[in-house]
């Protein structure tokens, strides 16, 4: 099923036809934007009308929406849920959440508050309660990952599944490592979560790359919750379980990540995907700036430099504290 809206000037030569060829031609002419002269935020009552095109089970239906109904509902669509399950190809192009827009800042603020209160709750728990919280987190990570498969099966397509949903992005690898760290309580896996997953989650939250997906869409909600949990889990290790990061163990985290990077590279070369952003930049991310400065694949050099800077910030406080304790 697909559903989207087109906006036309009153009197323009458009009449919805249920003959596939003509309707497809009309859709291709208007689907990516708005008819000239019609601004959706402030439409002219005398000049603009709206058609809702619905495609279901191979049948095409077009309904004209009166101006008053349109003008009252358009703004509400941005904060309501008519597009919650909608796949990218069926979304209006202007529905996405821009980086550091008001909506994005609100999401970041709420995420920080949630993380803070869960850490405080975790610290008050006995061992049994702490383990239950961590088990809940990894269970949610697994459920969120497979929920993407189900969503894609019902609303997406197979090519999207192959190119984006295999467990080869850093967030998927981090979910695997985080689950193993909780079950095994292994220090090297906890180091991986702090040194690899934490900075990855922070970057993903600060610079989401979700295209036209609105705030209240499945993809945005799943993306935000997944990366929030990937940030939360290593912070629980540090501020709840007493884990102390050690920069000397960081190379072991890199060794753990290396096989996944190698597999992602081979898969990218085979099917033309872009796992871990190894093949090309993703528009709407900070990688665009790196590509502008150094080109492709030169942007990977800037990425590596940025990673070293982030590691310095994350590990410096612990190294300073360790040396002070040693000298004392």
| pLDDT, averaged in runs of 10, over the chain (328 residues) | 44 39 37 37 42 51 47 45 78 79 93 97 95 96 91 75 82 95 95 95 87 87 96 96 92 93 92 83 68 72 84 91 75
Give the tens place of pLDDT for each residue, 247-265: 999 999 999 999 999 999 9
At residue 278, the pLDDT reads 82
pLDDT score recorded for residue 70:
40
Residue 239 has what pLDDT?
95
pLDDT digits (tens, 9 = 90+) for 10-53: 333 344 433 333 343 343 333 333 333 333 434 443 344 555 55
Q: Would you state the pLDDT for residue 81?
A: 65
With a CB cutoff of 8 Å and minimum separation 6, the contacts of 213 are 88, 91, 95, 96, 97, 219, 220
**Per-residue confidence (pLDDT) for residue 48, from 0 to 100:** 45
What integer pLDDT is reported at residue 271 of this predicted model?
Answer: 86
On whether the pTM is more than 0.75, the answer is no
My answer on whether omega of the bond before 308 falls inside 30° of 0, hence cis, is no
Q: Nearest 5 degrees, angle CA 263-CA 264-CA 268?
A: 120
């Amino acid at each position: 099923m697909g559903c989207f809206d087109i906006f036309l000037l009153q009197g323009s030569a458009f009449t919805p036809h249920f003959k596939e060829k003509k309707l497809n031609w009309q859709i291709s002419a208007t689907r990516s934007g708005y008819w000239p002269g019609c601004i959706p935020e402030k439409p002219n009552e005398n000049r603009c009308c709206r058609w809702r095109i619905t495609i279901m089970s191979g049948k095409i239906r077009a309904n004209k929406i009166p101006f008053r109904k349109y003008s009252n509902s358009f703004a509400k669509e941005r904060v309501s849920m008519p597009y919650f399950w909608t796949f990218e190809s069926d979304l209006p192009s202007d529905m996405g959440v821009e980086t550091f827009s008001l909506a994005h800042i609100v999401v970041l603020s709420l995420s920080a508050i949630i993380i803070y209160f869960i850490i405080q709750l975790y610290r008050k728990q006995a061992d049994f309660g702490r383990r239950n919280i961590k088990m809940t987190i990894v269970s949610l990570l697994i459920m969120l990952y497979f929920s993407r498969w189900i969503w894609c099966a019902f609303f997406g397509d197979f090519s999207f599944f192959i190119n984006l949903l295999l467990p080869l992005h850093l967030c998927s690898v981090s979910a695997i490592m985080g689950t193993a760290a909780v079950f095994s309580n292994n220090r090297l896996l906890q180091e991986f979560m702090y040194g690899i997953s934490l900075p990855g989650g922070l970057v993903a939250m600060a610079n989401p790359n979700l295209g036209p997906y609105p705030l209240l869409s499945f993809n945005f909600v799943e993306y935000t919750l997944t990366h929030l949990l990937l940030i939360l889990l290593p912070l629980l290790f540090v501020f709840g379980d007493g884990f102390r990061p050690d920069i000397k163990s960081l190379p072991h985290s890199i060794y753990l990540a290396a096989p996944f990077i190698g597999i992602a590279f081979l898969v990218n070369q085979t099917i033309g995907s872009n796992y871990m952003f190894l093949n090309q930049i993703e528009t709407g991310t900070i990688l665009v700036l790196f590509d502008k400065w150094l080109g492709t694949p030169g942007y990977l050099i800037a990425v590596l430099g940025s990673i070293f800077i982030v590691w310095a910030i994350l590990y410096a406080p612990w190294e300073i504290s360790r040396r002070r304790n040693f000298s004392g």
